[in-house]
Each structure stands twice: as structure tokens, then as C-alpha cells.
Amino acid sequence: MKKNLLAAAMAAALSAAVPASAASLIDDASKAWTFQHSASNGFLSEIVSFDSATKTLWVAGVSGVDVLDAATGSFLQRIDVSPWGAINSVSVHNGIAAFAIENTADRTQPGVVKLFDTHTRALASGVNSITVGALPDMLTFTKDGSKLLVANEATPNTYGSRIGTTVPRVYGAAPNDPVGSVSIIDMNTRSVSATATLAGVAQTGSHIRSNTGMDFEPEYIAVNAAGTQAYVSLQEANAMGVLNLQTGRFESVIGLGAKDFSLPGNRIDPLNNGNKTGTSGYDLISPNVKGLYMPDGMAVYERNGQTYVLLANEGDFREDDGDRSAASSLGATGTLTNLRVSNTDSSTGNLYAAGGRSFSIRATDGTIIYDSGEILDREAMTLGIYNDARSRDKGVEPESVEVMTIGDRSFAFVGLERTAYNNDDAAVGSRVAALAVFDITDPAHTTFVRMLKSDGDMAPEGLEGYVLDGYAYIAFSNEVSSTTSVFRLAPVPEPETYAMLLAGLGLIGLAARRRLG
């Protein structure tokens, strides 16, 4: 009896400081603010990064960076980058904001990283300009800030031509295809210490796309907590590169395989027929089709000494869509007529669509630990924000993923690029952004929590979680609406609260054991 009373007392004390469940943590999430960016000089809200030193958000938008107050959304300054090119990404660490800027005169030529001081909002003192590879698309710091990694996508201006008439199609090499790479910048010297490329790297897994008329194109980078390895999405190739940051070389390219949409829980809507009457009016079916995962945004998560890679399985084709065809051109009829598929992987009766229409968790060797199946599309349908006009493409198009730990729970936030009211992503009144929330505290038993819906925003491209004044927030930059918005999620207990609580519980338990002994 005394033991039961002790257990109850301990549980009550713990619940007073630690939220009881994932659902209760996020239930009270609400929009804190929205900022509408000025479209002057071609600005378009794309990527957002938080600076804890100045409590500001830095939003990259093609022609410049808008700096906003993270608490209120107040506009502070616009930094014009157009004299150097176009900005694709921003990342902030320890008072330094790094800008990834492509050469707009010729994107196949080297790009540049510019370093800014977040306090002065001017170019940082000392070395502040570093030449990197062609079309730097994304950049991120290691956790300790000692390295800055830059994904150089290196997209060609003209793709390779088709060879022969066989199906699946095969494309030759592009006439001028710069080398896709990751630049590793040593922040102590502010110079490139290594440029990691992918030619000749060992390949594992399956369904690596190498016949598309272009080389590997690094898209996104996620770094483990120790700063020893990075995981790089090679989206169009349906692969992930594993980069050793100690040697500065890629160790492997892992093919991410294909998702079977005919299996239970993996249904898709391929019809593109304009249904918009709720879940009963959409056409989720289990067709004989597979999806190539092709992730865009990535994140890493550490649990019980293991590193997990989280991926937003958006799917993507070449810019000119040369590797894309309607399934009808490969003999598909009926419900699959309009589905857009990869013509470098598909043949009659064996169709491969782009994207997994899902969010996945994988081990570092590529093994799937969890996949959200049909949840993203289905939940958007339930909320009336599924854009059926995108059914033949990639559904809601999971674009980005961010991990946050609040109290004793860890969450993945997945930005969905294609949601809208009334199947209309052009009309202002139809604009709505959505972030899917998953509890990933136990990766193997990940659960869907809820969808955060934000009217007036559209096409979240970048996500950034941050803690400010005792609360957890998630910021999201929206490409179509050119807005940046923030959800206030939940209060965050101070680490000292947990330490004191656990120490107190330990003393209570010790005293009780002595009394009961």
C-alpha cells in the first residue's frame, strides 16, 4: 500500500512539471503572428533561421533577407543581396548569419557564401565572402559551429538528350553539367577545407536514378549531433549521401527504394478530378503503382544513442520535366490515366510516381523505421484543405521537416507545400498552409498528433523551431504567399526544473525505501 501511495505521489509530482501527453502539449498551439513581406525587388519568402543572440528571425527571399523580431514579427531591416546574385538559404549560428548565393549571370558557375554579423546586420568583420560550388542551394552549421556545410546543387542549364527509344527511357550526359558537391567551410579560418563530390562513391540500396540526363544534385543537409557525419538528400536521384566530416569525403550513396501504394495504409488519390466534398468525395485507392521517395528537406534526431534521419518525401523531376510522362503514355487507363510518372523508371504495367507523399524516419544505413503512409493526404482531406488539382502529381507535397523537443516529448513538424481551399492555389481567399505534427519520442512507434492549419499562408518552404521567453515556437516561411508566420506551441520547462524534480523524487524514493526496508 505504501509503495502504491509513493508511486502515486511521484507520478503526481512529475506530471505537475512534465506535460502528460503529446496531444495535450500541442492542443493549445495558436498562431502568434504573420508578416507579409514586401514584394519589392522580387523578394519571395523561402527560408527562415532564428538567431538566439538578437532574438530575430532571418528570412531569405531570392533578392535579399528580411530581419524580423522573433517575438512580434515586427520588421527590422532588409538586406539586399542582388549585387552578388540570388539567395537560396540562410543559416544562423553564434551571431553569424551565412547566406548561400547563386551566380545569377550563370548558375553553372561557382556561387558564394556571405557572412553577416547578426548584431550589426552588416558583413562580418574579417573574411566574409567564400567561394563555393555551383548553385549553393542550402547551408547549415554543425552543432558546435566549427563547420559550415553548403549543398551545391549544380543544376545544368540544358539536360542530356534521350538515347534511343527504349522504355524506361535513358538520357545521356548533359553538355555542361557542373559537379554537384558539398563545400565544407572551416569557420576558424573561414575557408573551404574540403569539397566532397559523389563520383565513384560506393552505392547501396535500390532505385537510384542515374539515367536522367544530370548528375547527383545535393539538395539538403542534416548533421549528426557529434558533427562527424552529414546526410545529404539527392532528391531527383532518389538517394541519400553519407558524408564523413572528418575525412571530408562521401562514404556512400544510399538508394531509398520505392513505396508500394497498393499496400494497406498507403493509398493515394491519382485522379485529379476536382473532388472537394470531404473525405467521402476524394478518391483514395490502392493502385498498382510505386512511389520513389525523393526527399527534399531532412533533419536528424538522436535517441538512446542512435541517430535517425527524418525525410520529407516530396518527389521531384528535372526542371524541364523531360523525365516525366503521363501514365497513359505507358498504357495506363482508367484511374491511372492522368498520373504523372518517371519515364526513366516506368514501363507498361510497372509505374513509378515521384514522391512518397509521406514523412519517413530512417536509420543511418537507410533502413525505414517509420513511414506516415497515407496520413498526410488523408488528414488534409479531413480538414478540407486537400488540393485535388495536385492529385496526379505528388499530393500535398511534404517539403520540409523540423524537430523540436518540448518537455519529455520530441516532435517532427512537416511542412506541406500544396494545400488549398477549393482546389485553388492561385486565389488569395483559398490560401492555407499546413504543418503536420508527429510524436517521434519513440521513433519506431511514431504517431500522428495533429495538423496545424494557417489561413492566409501558402506553400511553407522553410521551418524553424525556437524557444523564446519560456515558450516553444515554430516559424514557417511561405513561398507562394510570401509571408512568414509563427505558431506559439507550448511552455518549455527549464532544464533546472527537471533536474530539481528528479533529484527530489530520488530523495523521496530513497527515504521511502529506508522506511519500508
pLDDT category at 111 given cuts 50, 70, 90 is very high
Give which of 173, 56, 175 is closest to 117, Cα–Cα: 56
pLDDT tens digit sequence for 337-347:
999 999 999 99
pLDDT category at 94 given cuts 50, 70, 90 is very high
Domains assigned to the chain? 19-492 (2.130.10.10)
pLDDT category at 506 given cuts 50, 70, 90 is very low
pLDDT tens digit sequence for 112-160:
999 999 999 999 999 999 999 999 999 999 999 999 999 999 999 999 9
Mean pLDDT of the 64-82 span: 98
Rounded CA-CA distance 60/120 in Å is 17
Rounded CA-CA distance 91/60 in Å is 9
The pLDDT assigned to 493 comes to 81
Q: Give the residue, 494 or 320, on which the prediction is more confident.
A: 320
Q: What is the DSSP secondary structure assignment for residue 164, as one 8-state letter? A: S
Mean pLDDT of the 275-299 span: 83
Inter-residue contact 426 to 416 (CB < 8 Å): no
pLDDT category at 516 given cuts 50, 70, 90 is very low
For 154-170, the DSSP string reads ---SSPPPB-SS-SS--
pLDDT tens digit sequence for 353-370:
999 999 999 999 999 999
Rounded CA-CA distance 488/465 in Å is 10
Inter-residue contact 283 to 227 (CB < 8 Å): no
The pLDDT assigned to 281 comes to 55
pLDDT tens digit sequence for 247-261:
999 999 999 999 999
The pLDDT assigned to 24 comes to 74
Helix, coil or strand: residue 381: helix
pLDDT category at 390 given cuts 50, 70, 90 is very high
**Is the predicted pLDDT of residue 205 greater than 70, yes or no?**
yes
Rounded CA-CA distance 49/468 in Å is 14
Mean pLDDT of the 451-461 span: 98
C-alpha angle 167-173-176 in degrees, rounded to nearest 5? 145
**Is the predicted pLDDT of residue 108 greater than 70, yes or no?**
yes
Please report, for residues 91, 147, 348, 463, the alpha-carbon distance to residue 95 in angstroms, rounded to integers and kept in the order given: 10, 14, 55, 19
Query: pLDDT exceeding 90 applies to what percent of the chain?
Result: 86
State the pTM of this model.
Answer: 0.92
pLDDT tens digit sequence for 408-434:
999 999 999 999 998 888 899 999 999
The pLDDT assigned to 222 comes to 98
Residue 487: phi and psi, rounded to 5, are -100, 130
- Asked which of 19-28, 133-142, 324-333 is least confident by mean pLDDT, the reply is 19-28
Query: Average pLDDT of the chain?
Result: 91
| Number of Cβ atoms within 10 Å of the Cβ of 220 | 25
**Is the predicted pLDDT of residue 334 greater than 60, yes or no?**
yes
Inter-residue contact 450 to 383 (CB < 8 Å): no
The pLDDT assigned to 327 comes to 98
pLDDT tens digit sequence for 466-492:
999 999 999 999 999 999 999 999 999
The pLDDT assigned to 170 comes to 98
